[in-house]
Amino acid sequence: MSETQDPSADPTQAASTDPNATASADPGSAAAANPAASGSASTVELKLRIFIPCNALTALSFTGRRCFAGDGRDFSYASGTSRAELVANVTVSPSGVMLVSRKFGLSSEYNFEDAISVAGKPDWFMDVKPGAAAIATDTLQVTDDNLNIVLGAGDSTTEAVFAVAEQTTVVNINVAGALPLMTGAPDIDATLYVHFKNDGGGVKALVHGSHDGFPAYEIYLNQKLVYQFDPVAAGTSPTNLLPPEDINVSTSYVSV
């Protein structure tokens, strides 16, 4: 995971040190603080959702086999829950990013005996017995270190050079959130770069970077799905949460 930069050290950084606050990339720019204030600004809503597609999954911990709830859904812009979710407005001209919201989903644990397998699915893809009740719940607290978006390429020289060559506005998303109910649980990691470029009267964008091979990932730009990763289709599993980030991301430009 790339190191998150200190927003106070660079006024072009988007996220506030207050996880519940909304921040702009350039406090001195009316268009960045309020993209709609400038008729020449091109603003795109970015939404990242990370989710576990099954209702439950089992994992091995220091205390034995355990069962945790998933999100039990397919790819969707708004339906269902997520393990992590981030929404921001990216202004392409002048460049800026406004963090709208970020959160981790509620984590729940069931008795291991309440886990049941699902026919035709991987061995980690489980369901829970009807009527089973959670025995523990918790939600990971959001910080700038575990769920954040900033303007710029962060520590990546490659992405910075690409942004200059392509004349793009680039934002860097970093995720490093672990299951709060399990001591020593590996993080869900992602280091993603979304490049935006004016295209006539519109905007086109692409996604670069990397993330763990588990769970599922989806990125929407103006509610258009521009990137998805399905661990079932890819044949990956919760063991892919272990370092390093093993899925490389490189999409083509799409109009958004």
In angstroms, the CA 164 to CA 54 distance is 41
> Measuring CA to CA, which residue among 53, 56, 1, 102 is closest to residue 216?
53
Residue 79 within any structural domain of the chain: yes
Q: Which are the contacts of 161, defined by CB distance < 8 A and separation ≥ 6?
A: none
Domain assignment of residue 244, yes or no? yes
Does residue 132 fall inside a structural domain?
yes
Res 249 pLDDT > 80 = yes
Residue 75, domain member (yes or no) = yes
Q: What is the mean pLDDT of residues 109-134?
A: 96
> Tell me, what's the pLDDT at 41?
62
Q: Are 195 and 163 in contact (CB under 8 A)?
A: yes
Give the whole-angstrom CA distance, residue 154 versus residue 70.
Answer: 31
Q: What are phi and psi of 40, to 5 degrees?
A: -90, -10
- Residue 61 falls within a domain, yes or no? yes
* Residue 1 within any structural domain of the chain: no
Residue keyed to tokens 């939600």: 139
CA distance 23 to 232: 36
- Reported as a single tens digit per residue, the pLDDT across 176-231 is 999 999 999 999 999 999 999 999 889 999 999 999 999 999 999 999 999 999 99
Q: Is residue 32 predicted with pLDDT exceeding 80? A: no
Question: Per the structure, how many domains does the chain have?
Answer: 1
Contact 52, 70 (CB under 8 A): yes
**Phi, psi dihedral angles at 55 (to 5 degrees):** -70, -30
The whole-number pLDDT of residue 189 equals 98
What does each C-alpha distance from 35 to 12, 92, 96, 225, 231 come to in angstroms? 15, 10, 9, 22, 36
Burial class (CB in 10 A: 0-12, 13-18, 19+), 199: middle
pLDDT of residue 35: 35
Three-state SS at 112: helix
SS3 content of the chain, % helix, strand, coil (to 5): 10, 40, 45
Task: Determine the structural domain holding residue 115 and report its residue range.
Answer: 7-255
Asked if residue 100 lies in contact with residue 24, where contact means CB atoms within 8 angstroms, the answer is: no
- Measured from the Cβ of residue 246, the count of other Cβ atoms closer than 10 Å reads 15
The reported pLDDT for the residue numbered 141 is 98
Asked whether residue 2 is domain-assigned, the answer is: no
d(CA 27, CA 24): 6
Quick: pLDDT tens for 139-175.
Answer: 999 999 999 999 999 999 999 999 999 999 999 999 9
List, edge to edge, every strand of the sheet that includes 64-69: 115-117, 126-128, 56-61, 64-69, 107-110, 136-138
Nearest to 83 by CA among 92, 93, 73, 91: 73
The yes-or-no verdict on residue 40 having pLDDT over 90 is no
Tokens of 139: 């939600």
Who's near 117: CB < 8 A, 6+ residues apart? 123, 125, 126, 127
